[in-house]
Amino acid sequence: MRARAAGRIGVPLAVVVTLLGTVSSLRAQATGSIAGVVTDTSGGVLPGVTIDVTNVDTNQTRTGVTDESGRHTIPLVPPGAYRVKGSLSGFRAVERSNVAVTVTSTARVDIELNVGSIEETVSVSAVVPLVETRHATLGLVVTRDQIVDLPLNGRNFTQLGTLLPGVFAPPAALGSGAGDATPGGFGAATSGFSVNGQRNQSNNFLLDGASNNDTFNTGFVLRPPPDAIQEFKILTHSYGAEYGRNAGSVVNVVTRSGTNAIHASAWDFNRSTALNARNYFAAADQAKPKLQQNQFGGTLGGPLARNRLFGFGYYEGFRNTSGVTQNVVVLSTAQRTGNFGTTTIRDPLTGLPFSNNQIPTDRLNQSALQLVRDFVPAANTGTTRYVLSPDSIDQRNQFGLRFDYQPAVQHSILGRYMLSRTDRRDPPTTRPVGTLAKATL
């Protein structure tokens, strides 16, 4: 009995140990780091200095100690604003504020300590620039203010990627930004952009460090609304081997988390027929094709247990009813009875032209005539044109939850859940039935 119990306990224990051992690798791609050197006023390095890194928004603290060379490194730091404090017995503590940490980047924070009482603290308020001294990765971070404030067609954050050198939007036929709320699509509809001459299907999309790649459509799977994104970074050159996979860019998206302050937002973006130009190809005697689009939602985030447990959630809805103008060549009234006028029509049995290009009534197949009546509409513009703007209805909903928990200084846990549903209906025109597309991601 004892051996069996040990066996039952050993399997889940091994799973837990494995998961704990892989936490670093899972979070490494969605975090940054803080590094630097601590010296005294003479320039000598100081080992054993305690380095405290505190998040301004959550008041969570990470601690490290300088090595024998006076160097310190705090890895796996979530993006955000931080205070960095260095303290050592016999020296005045120094605190650096306004330290910005961005995804996959290293913030360089060098500290100089003066001799004095440890109870004395020198505060230095200055923006600490990001200096990439550890790797040659080339990329650009797009911040939350830029994501929310810059105009986006359809609130698709990938459009901001074209602000980088070497990044451009591909032609529409290859899947450029369509300005809708598509969380996923067919073909290359969600690939977004091309980087340094690579195909737009060659991007590697990450969400909080985890793969967000649609292996079937070669694009991203889930796309949070801009208000739910903390920042994202596009790596275009010389990125580390841990990314790999694609020859194009690495697009690393970090979702927002809750803080010690309660934050909420709401939005509604509207497009209306009244403000839309008339389709040039729509029939003049028909009503203007309809367009009614609303993209709305909200976010809410805050503390569940101050300084330890935080939550953030969002919802976004998309409602679009649009008249898609279709200009189709159809049979004229005479042609529907077998009279093709000046167009030569040959008898398939003899190869000779029919008299007066008129197919005899007894040669008209009744099944074919029924198909024409059912699926080939009569001309409503001119003699051979059928113009119509039927309404296509597109309804989408997506929401997400994120929880951040720090049970101890050495450990942190992130949990995230996202769901997206799509329901699109296109009416029939020259087809026997319309189309219905449903997706749950």
Residues of 356-366 as b/e, b for ≥16 C-beta within 10 angstroms? Answer: eeebeeeeeee
Pair 430, 297 in one domain: yes
Kindly report, residue by residue over 166-213, the tens digit of the pLDDT.
888 766 544 444 545 444 444 445 666 788 888 777 888 899 988 888
Q: Provide DSSP, 165-212.
A: TTEEPPPGGGT---SS--SS-STTTT---EETT--TT--EEEETTEE-
Segment holding 220, helix H or strand E = strand 219-220
Structural domain range at position 347: 331-371
Torsion 23-38-115-93 (CA) sign: negative
Pair 341, 425 in one domain: no
How much of the chain, in percent, has pLDDT values that exceed 90?
A: 36
* Token pair for 213: 């790649």
Per the structure, the count of domains in the chain is 4
pTM of the full structure? 0.78
The secondary structure of residue 129, as a DSSP letter, is P
pLDDT exceeds cutoff 90 at 52 = yes
Nearest partner of 104 among 213, 236, 197, 221, judged by Cα = 236
CA separation for the pair 273, 292 (Å, rounded): 6
Nearest partner of 157 among 57, 237, 224, 217, judged by Cα = 224
Q: How confident is the model at residue 312 (pLDDT cuts 50, 70, 90)?
A: very high
Residue that finishes a domain, picked among 128, 159, 179: 128
* Token pair for 372: 């024409």
CA separation for the pair 333, 210 (Å, rounded): 60
Place of tokens 């029924």: 370
Pair 396, 291 in one domain: yes
* Token pair for 273: 């027929």
Is 248 strand, coil or helix?
A: coil
Mean pLDDT computed over every residue of the chain = 82
Q: Please check whether residue 9 lies inside any domain of the structure.
A: no
What residue type is assigned to position 325 of the chain?
T
Place of tokens 């120094």: 94
Cα–Cα distances (Å) from 419 to 59, 95, 178, 221, in that order, read: 30, 42, 21, 11
Q: Please check whether residue 414 lies inside any domain of the structure.
A: yes
Burial of 206 (0-12, 13-18, 19+ CB in 10 A): buried
What per-residue confidence (pLDDT) applies to 193? 79
* Token pair for 28: 């490494």
What per-residue confidence (pLDDT) applies to 51? 95
Pair 289, 411 in one domain: yes
Residue that finishes a domain, picked among 235, 255, 275: 255
CA separation for the pair 183, 40 (Å, rounded): 53
Ranges assigned E (strand) in 257-308: 263-272, 291-305
Q: How confident is the model at residue 8 (pLDDT cuts 50, 70, 90)?
A: very low
Pair 353, 396 in one domain: no
What per-residue confidence (pLDDT) applies to 131? 55
Nearest partner of 424 among 275, 327, 324, judged by Cα = 324
Residue that finishes a domain, picked among 80, 96, 128: 128
The secondary structure of residue 284, as a DSSP letter, is T
Pair 181, 250 in one domain: yes
Pair 198, 98 in one domain: no
What per-residue confidence (pLDDT) applies to 212? 87
* Token pair for 37: 């050197």
Q: Is 111 left (phi over 0), alpha (psi -120 to 50) or beta?
A: beta
CA separation for the pair 203, 238 (Å, rounded): 14
Torsion 62-66-72-75 (CA) sign: negative
What is the CATH classification number for the domain harbouring 213?
2.170.130.10
CA separation for the pair 438, 424 (Å, rounded): 7
Pair 270, 363 in one domain: no
What residue type is assigned to position 29 of the chain?
Q
Lowest mean pLDDT among 27-41, 97-111, 245-259: 27-41
Pair 300, 152 in one domain: no
What is the CATH classification number for the domain harbouring 71?
2.60.40.10
Q: Please check whether residue 133 lies inside any domain of the structure.
A: no
What per-residue confidence (pLDDT) applies to 223? 86
* Token pair for 261: 């302050």
Cα–Cα distances (Å) from 8 to 5, 13, 18, in that order, read: 5, 9, 16
Q: ∠ CA(4), CA(8), CA(14), 5° rounding?
A: 135
Q: How confident is the model at residue 237 (pLDDT cuts 50, 70, 90)?
A: confident
Q: How confident is the model at residue 126 (pLDDT cuts 50, 70, 90)?
A: low
Q: How many residues does the chain have?
A: 441
Q: Please check whether residue 405 lies inside any domain of the structure.
A: yes
Q: Please check whether residue 36 lies inside any domain of the structure.
A: yes
Nearest partner of 160 among 253, 247, 293, judged by Cα = 253
pLDDT exceeds cutoff 70 at 316 = yes
CB 95 within 8 A of CB 65: no
* Token pair for 321: 């009813």
Pair 67, 83 in one domain: yes
Pair 206, 281 in one domain: no
Pair 348, 401 in one domain: no
